[in-house]
Structure 1
């Protein structure tokens, strides 16, 4: 029997460290931070998962997908 799909609202919040040359974002679900994204200018995106693991992505969107996948696999 398959699980029903649940709609989950994901927020992307800019932190105080965010500037024109440095992007610093938090990915939030149900008022809990599930990951962070950091990028200098047009460089690679540093992705930090809730578990503390760090990865690298080519874009903000790809980094968000990594964080959401990890959340869906382990935390939901």
Structure 2
């Protein structure tokens, strides 16, 4: 039998470290931070997972997708 898809709300919050040159976003599910996305100016996007592992993404959207995939694989 196949599992049913669950609806999970993901919040994307800006952190206090945001400036004009630096962007930092937190992804939150059920009041738990599941990852962060960081970018300097228009440079590469760094994705930090809950485990502390870091990875580079081409865009903020791709970074969000990577964090959600990691969460779905290991945390649900």
- Distance in 1 (alpha carbons) for counterparts of 2:27 and 2:71: 11
Unaligned 5+ segments in structure 2 are none
Counterpart residue number, 2:20 = 20
Counterpart residue number, 1:31 = 31
Give structure 1 regions of 4+ aligned residues with deviation exceeding 2 angstroms.
none
Confirm or deny that 1:11 pairs with 2:6: no
Using the TM superposition, give the Cα deviation of residue 23 of structure 1 relative to its aligned residue in structure 2, in angstroms: 0.3
Residue correspondence of structure 1 range 42-57 to structure 2 within 5 A = 42-57=42-57
Confirm or deny that 1:73 pairs with 2:73: yes
Unaligned 5+ segments in structure 1 are none
- Give the aligned CA root-mean-square deviation in angstroms: 0.5
Count of residue pairs brought into register by the alignment: 76
Counterpart residue number, 2:61 = 61
Using the TM superposition, give the Cα deviation of residue 54 of structure 1 relative to its aligned residue in structure 2, in angstroms: 0.4
Output the TM-score relative to the length of structure 1: 0.97
Using the TM superposition, give the Cα deviation of residue 51 of structure 1 relative to its aligned residue in structure 2, in angstroms: 1.2
